[in-house]
Structure 1
């Protein structure tokens, strides 16, 4: 459980920096047909998956 906890902490603490980088890359890629939008869509999908993971491992308030 410790390894999973460390991995989740690392992922969640790096999401803000990742989102800044993705926004910058998407802006730089706008010249290529839709590439920036594809990158943003992939980042949203990844963020949604991480959110689902965090919800799934969240202990219930009764425990």
Structure 2
């Protein structure tokens, strides 16, 4: 297995980034767009997944 030096190369980070993008797209319309608090919390949670993976990789884990 090749050594991964960048967190962007991790499959789990790529999936998390894709999930965040999908959530942003889905939450632009419909009921999500009307409930700002819920929409923003959902978006922050989605971005947090990728951020935590990147932080863990930065800590050498």
TM-score (norm 1): 0.57
Higher relative contact order, chain-length normalized (CA < 8 Å, sep 6+): 2
Distance 1:39 1:54 in 2: 24
| 1:44 corresponds to | 47
Q: What is the CA RMSD across the aligned residues, in angstroms?
A: 2.6
State the 4+ residue runs in structure 1 displaced beyond 4 angstroms. Answer: none
For structure 2, which runs of at least 5 residues remain unmatched after alignment?
Answer: none
| 1:25 corresponds to | 26
Length, aligned pairs only: 53
TM-score (norm 2): 0.58
